Amino acid sequence: MKVFNDTIRLQTTQKSEDINITAMVEAIILESDIYEGTVTIFTGHTTASIHLNNADPELAKDLHDFLNEAIPNKPTYRHNKGDYGRNAHAHFKSLLIGNSVTIPINRGRITLGQWQALYFSEFDGPRNRLISVKIMGVPARHT
């Protein structure tokens, strides 16, 4: 069993946006030389998320429209009145969507569905963001 760690650094440019990070994760898997295993993609940010979705950019916009309707930034949220910021809605969106995904690696490739892509969602940008990538499995030379 081999373990490989790496980090993706992003600079988001909008208040809310989705960034397709599939190719970045695929490059890390290739570098890891892990042939069979799993990859976990995680962000420790509480106003951002990691998730799988259809690779249609218009769907990403629909997701943010849906979240904005479902979770408006109410001035009555206690967090918005305190010393921590005015972004309670961004924290709620992150809780709803999640902070990590784990995906199988088969024959050195990430195993996604036909239309799936891996996304980083920003809910309180623009910001500098970090994404942790941990890959565990069997290297190619051991298969």
Per-residue model confidence as pLDDT tens digits over 47-99 = 999 999 999 999 999 999 999 999 999 999 999 988 878 999 999 999 999 99
Write down the domain spans for the chain: 2-142
Residue-wise pLDDT for 88-128, tens only, equals: 999 999 999 999 999 999 999 999 999 999 999 999 999 99
Q: pTM of whole model > 0.85?
A: yes
The reported pLDDT for the residue numbered 140 is 85
Q: What is the CATH number of domain 2-142?
A: 2.60.120.460
Strand partners, 122: 17, 48
Return d(Cα 131, Cα 71) in angstroms, integer: 24
Residue found by looking up tokens 């994404």 in the block: 131
CA-wise closest residue to 29 among 124, 141, 135, 140: 135
Could you read off the pLDDT of 18-29 as tens digits, one per residue? Answer: 999 999 999 999
CA distance 108 to 31: 10
